[in-house]
Amino acid sequence: MTEKIGILAIGHGSRLPYNNQVVSEIADMIAKKHPEFVIRSGFMEMSTPSVEEAMLSFAGTGVTKIAAVPVFLASGVHITKDIPEILKLDPETKQGKVKLDGREVTIVYGKPLGSDELIAELIFKRAQEVF
């Protein structure tokens, strides 16, 4: 069976609109560039859809595996504890399951952005915009 991959972009969530906007816009960019993947976004707290709601919204898409990726800059308690708990990941394997359309779909868990040349390039671009 060919895998059909879903990507869930997980944002922190905020009372202000900015975090929600950034995460949703990034999800749209990925969806546009990679139409063979099914992209959703969900939020840990304060914004909607919640992570659980976003996960269930993969129903009907035929995804066979979902990569949940935190749209967070760095690791921390949200990454190591809170989000794995929401996703009910196995603490050993860092994998989980969600039931969609009567099938069990595997959830795998990605790293946050971290230090990467792409972030360095973007920070330099943000500096260039103002000097």
Q: Report the binding-site residues for Co(2+).
A: 12, 78
Nearer of residues 85 and 127 to a second copy, judged by Cβ:
127
Give the three-class secondary structure for 34: coil
72 near a second copy, rule: CB under 8 A: yes
Pairing of strands 96-100, 65-70: unpaired
Distance CA 129, CA 115 (A): 21
- Of residues 12, 71, 100, 109, which has the active-site annotation? 12
Q: Is 12 designated active site?
A: yes
Distance CA 122, CA 112 (A): 16
118 near a second copy, rule: CB under 8 A: yes
Strand runs labelled E in the chain: 5-11, 38-43, 65-70, 96-100, 103-109
120 near a second copy, rule: CB under 8 A: yes
Write the single-letter amino acid at 85. Answer: E
User: What residues are designated binding site for substrate?
Assistant: 73-78
Q: Which residues bind a second copy (CB under 8 A)?
A: 3, 5, 7, 9, 14, 16, 18-19, 21-23, 25-26, 29-30, 33-34, 37, 65, 67, 69, 71-77, 108-131
